[in-house]
Structure 1
Amino acid sequence: MTQRHAHQRIVSAYFPDLSMDRWRRITAQQRTLPGDDVPVVLAQQGSHGPIIYALSTAAHARGITQGARVVDVQAIHPDLHVEQADMQGDQALLTRVAHWARRWCPWTVRDDTDGIVMDVTGAAHLFGGEPALLRDMGVRFKMQGLTARLAIAPTRGAAQMLARYGKASTICGVDESAAHLAPLPVAALRIDADTIRLLQRLGLKTIGALDAVPRVAMMRRFGKMTEDRNPLILLDRALGRSADPLNAPADAQRWLVRARLPEPVIDPIPHLDALADDLCAQLAKAEQGARLLRLTIYRVDGEWRSRDVATASASRDAAHMLRLLIGKLEGIDPGFGFDLLTLEALRVEPLSQHQDRLDGSRDTSADVAALLDRLTARLGPEKITWSAWCESHLPERVEHTRPALSHAPADAPVLNRDRPLRLLAPPEEITVLYAVPEGPPARFRWRRVAYLTARHEGPERIAPEWWRDRPGTRLRDYYKVEVTDGRRFWIYREGILGDGRGDAPRWFLHGVFE
């Protein structure tokens, strides 16, 4: 927490087009952007359909407003280009920008959903003074593809208000807050719409007019409001009459070890042992374990190459890490050699110290996790999976696979003994040789072999899942069938005669009973 004093200097960076800037930067890497004259909007889901969340410059020029329904705007502007907003991605970007901004000062924090605040007290002279500092910020934000409005003032509230409602790159002196804020509208206090309307009905449309009213009379109206909604408390903070400290979160700890080599080498394996030991020692002190590792080699020609390794459970076993890393080095191009290696734990989890069993037995769960790690490192995450379960009427949708390293194993389901354990994926169509009315086929052919039905049980009707299946999907009638050689099959008829959803019903074999 920074301490407030007489010469505190706060910078507010306001990003009015954060969502649109981010969308434009990502889209430009994938496809051609719409023309500058095409109105582009980002939409989010509202109570009555999609509503506009962010707008491009062309959309602003046509009078389109935030919060309008997309269908209403499309009726007026048929050429409207609509994309889906990603608010979570926008906020993640804002968090990264807040930490990246610590290149200018050690205390930075997010400002709600559209800006960041920086305490640059004692740091401006390092960049040539406050005007040069603001210019450097503006240039670097532009290089990142962000449109920024900047202001510097003695308090956080004043800087926020000037960045949003003042002139571009405003610099407010220590004793100039009242003069700079006086012409701004009361909406600059960032209060709710009802309070703004109340102040305007009272004739208090600017900050200066609100500050001139006797405080006792105004406190009777706003005294019961919370601090974040009370315009008088917010005004006192902006003018420096009450404290408004900046609580900046600490930097995320990086778990990184380096090996600087006196001369370039080609083979990284001899140096991995020491790197893994150093990293595990760091993790052990903090009682953390690595879930995702990244090995990076920096070549003498300025290029770099990296390899990522994931683990099924948190680990700080140096020998295990070494085996995983060695298995990922095949195909890495060292160029003319490299003189720097880094090993970083990108994702960690708490891992308390534990004692081995006194009876000398092994921890089988740890052995399974190590096996999953080695198989995944060798074959790839999409090859090593285990089953997950979900509620569904259709048998083939009950089970699906997930990567073993990124998902925990699912609890074993309650088995339905009336259904086979082994299902064919997809079900295989069978040829009916002799049909029985209102029952399973008396003779059928599957995989070029003819079978004669000895007995059967059923049907079990399973209707389509209307919320997932396409219109016209046909229902199924399942039968348990035992043929003359003793084998039992699970077959179904897709559709019934006269259902209006296709031609004659088709028969499929879906499972085999053990």
Structure 2
Amino acid sequence: MRQIASIWLPRLAIERWAKTSDAAPDQPIVLTVEGTHGPIIHAVTDAAAARGAHAGTRLTDARAIDPGLVAVLADPAGDAALLERLARWAGRWSPLVEVEPSTSLGTGPSTSLGTGGADGLRLDVTGVAHLFGGEAGLVADIRERFAGAGLTARVAIAPTAGAAWALARFSSPSPRSASSSRPLPAGERGIGAALAPLPVAALRLPPEAVRTLERLGLKTIGQLAGIERRSLARRFREADNPVDALDRALGRKAEPLTAVPAEQPPRALLRLEEPATHPEAPSQALERLIAPLVRQLEQRRLGARRVSLAGYRVDGSVAVAAVATSIPSREPRHLHRLLADKAAALNPEFGFDAFALQADWTEDLRAGQDSLVEAPSGTRALAGLVDRLTVKLGPERVRRPVAIESHMPERASGWGAAISAPLSRSDGEELERPQRLLDRAEAIDVIYATPEGLPRRFVWRRAVHDIIRVAGPERIAPEWWRAPSSSRLRDYYRVEDQAGRRYWIYREGLIGDGRGGLPGWFIHGLFG
């Protein structure tokens, strides 16, 4: 059965404004937008609401009741942009998310967007709820994450988008209400029973249609559902027909969702009036496209990790030159230097009629100052060198050590492409490890006080080392999913001999562990 979640953000505008404002929380603030006959209240603080102000009324009327209201110009465009970002963020709950349009309801609950615009999201959560422990768990997770972002959210899940919209906005706000966590019964009858006590405004009708129905005595959806359909439809225009709205809410008519379009990567395009067959054309196009691409990256506060120059030929084929960077970058000279040789190698064949420079992979890159002088930092200088070597020699020939997900010392590191980001330890613990690790642990003879005591002297490569300091043990168990069942655990010690040399040694196995004879001692690394 299809399930739609509706997320209503009733205080989006005022909560977004409050995050950036230094006004006292007890001030009677109202956000306003320009209307036909003067400013109209767009959103209100709790203090202003307590004095009788509410969204949708004219500012002059509200000030006639309370002259102390403080008016601030609203920012609907900023609210809409935030909602678009929230829609992409809500992809954590569903692959299909849509910005839900708001209807100016004359009799509905007071909203923060009372003058129109978008005020919520709707998600197709079919087959998703079990990942969160059921619908109640999904609703709780949505509420908690929006609350963590400082936003009030009301959530409802229903088999249709219309029913979910109505329950999120008009049902009881109690956490145990059907609009919050209790699933609706399957089928049209179950949806109709849940919607019956709600006002007709919950069908997302225009204010004129709502007022007409109320004058006719049809104030709830249950009353509306009992009226003969033909006589009701004749009184309304096709766009305002409450019969169609009721059918969509009950699932008799389909209401598809349109997902928010994915944000396009930064891209600069150059179209040519005539096909270019000269070999220098790609290089010249690159010089003209670098600047607009960098401007887009700066505006979106991004840095490029992979950039590609595509040349579109007149015969429909595409020639592509691509490079990658080890850290995010939007430095024009650096990007141009990396792409210059590859762009020059593009074959025009019958001619190029367009070029596109695109940042295929981007990461956040905030503006910052490395130092008081213009000299680049060591990290950026090293990254630039790695990028240039990778372009010249190939990514498989320029490598650096990387961490590998394994707690066994001999498996915990390896070599990877230098252009890729280094892996980090998942445990977050900084362990003391030797600077030099032997390719293969070498057996040593250890003299110790008791079978389970600390080592006191060991012989390695025919040399005797008296131990004066020892730290440990650090126990490392074998990786049972890789190693055979006969593998033995290790107890590692950091030891220092009489000459000040430090070693990393370990005892393999325990007496009586049933996995072999006596424990063996090995040296695995050297410190310093």
Q: Which amino acid aligns with 2:95?
A: P
* Alignment partner, residue 31 of structure 2: 42
What displacement does 1:52 show?
Answer: 1.4
2:340 alignment partner AA: A
Q: Cα RMSD between the aligned structures?
A: 4.1
| Aligned counterparts, 1:163-202, within 5 A | 163-168=168-173, 169-170=180-181, 171-175=183-187, 176-202=190-216
Q: Does 1:234 align with 2:235?
A: no
**Aligned-partner residue type, residue 13 of structure 1:** I
What percent of counterpart residues are identical? 42
In the TM superposition, residue 68 of structure 1 has moved relative to its aligned partner by 3.2
CA distance in 1, matches of 2:161, 2:214: 25
1:409-488 map, 5 Å: none
- Pick closer, same or farther for the CA change 1:21–1:216 going to 2, 3 Å: same
CA distance in 1, matches of 2:29, 2:337: 49
Q: Following the alignment from structure 2 to structure 1, what is the Cα–Cα distance between the partners of residues 264 and 120?
A: 24
The answer (yes or no) to whether the contact 2:304–2:329 under 8 Å persists in 1 is: no
Q: Distance in 2 between matches of 1:316 and 1:241?
A: 61
Q: Does 1:318 align with 2:339?
A: yes
Deviations 1:355-378 (A, max 9, x none): xxxxxxxxxxxxxxxxxxxxxxxx
Matched position secondary structure for 1:50: strand
1:150 to 147, 155, 165: 155
1:86 matched to 2:75: yes
1:314-334 Cα offsets, whole Å, 9 max, x none, are 999823999xx9xx9844474
| Residues in 1 aligned to 2:342 and 2:7: alpha-carbon distance in whole angstroms | 43
Contact 1:39 1:59 in 2 (8 A): yes
In the alignment, the residues of structure 2 paired with residue 132 and residue 154 of structure 1 have an alpha-carbon distance, to the nearest angstrom, of 17
Distance apart, 1:59 and its partner CA: 1.3
What runs of 5+ residues in structure 2 fail to find an aligned partner? 102-117, 174-179, 268-302, 344-364, 388-528
Deviations 1:162-181 (A, max 9, x none): 00101231542323211110
CA contact (8 A) 1:52 1:70 kept: yes
Q: Decide whether aligned partners of structure 1 residues 90 and 220 sit closer, same or farther in structure 2, where only a CA change above 3 A counts.
A: same
Q: Which amino acid aligns with 1:318?
A: L
Specify whether residues 102 and 278 from structure 1 end up closer, same or farther in structure 2 by C-alpha distance, changes over 3 A only: closer
Report the CA distance shift for 1:118/1:157 in structure 2 as closer, same or farther (over 3 A).
Answer: same
What secondary structure, in the 3-state scheme, does the structure 1 residue paired with 2:152 have?
coil
Task: Give the one of 40, 54, 65 matched to 1:65.
Answer: 54
Cα distance change on mapping 1:179 and 1:52 into 2, 3 Å: same
| CA distance in 1 between partners of 2:68 and 2:59 (Å) | 12
Q: Structure 1 pair 47/204, CA: closer, same or farther in 2 (3 Å)? A: closer
Matched residue, 1:268: none
Deviations 1:418-448 (A, max 9, x none): xxxxxxxxxxxxxxxxxxxxxxxxxxxxxxx
Change (3 A) 1:104 1:282: farther
Shift of 1:71: 4.2
SS at match of 1:114: strand
- Residue among 2, 5, 10 paired with 1:8: 2
Paired residue for 1:225? 238
- Partner Cα distance (1:294, 1:44) in 2: 47
What is the DSSP-based 3-state SS (H/G/I as helix, E as strand, rest coil) of the residue aligned with 1:279? strand
Q: Quick one: structure 1 residues 315 and 39, their matched pair in 2 at CA, closer, same or farther if it must change by over 3 Å?
A: farther
Residue 25 and residue 333 in structure 1: after superposition, are their counterparts in 2 closer, same or farther (change >3 A)? farther
265, 280, 284: which is aligned to 2:308?
A: 280
CA distance in 2, matches of 1:93, 1:289: 35
Q: Aligned pair count?
A: 293
TM-score, reference length from structure 2: 0.49
State whether residues 305 and 325 of structure 2, in contact with CA within 8 Å, keep that contact through their aligned partners in structure 1: no
Give the 3 Å change call, closer, same or farther, for CA 252–173 of structure 1 in structure 2.
Answer: farther
Code of the residue aligned with 1:14 in structure 2: it is: W
Summarize the Cα distance change of 1:233–1:276 in structure 2 as closer, same or farther, 3 Å threshold: closer
TM-score after normalising by structure 1: 0.50
Counterpart residue identity of residue 24, structure 1: A
Using a 3 Å threshold, how does the CA distance of structure 1 residues 172 and 46 change in structure 2: closer, same or farther? same
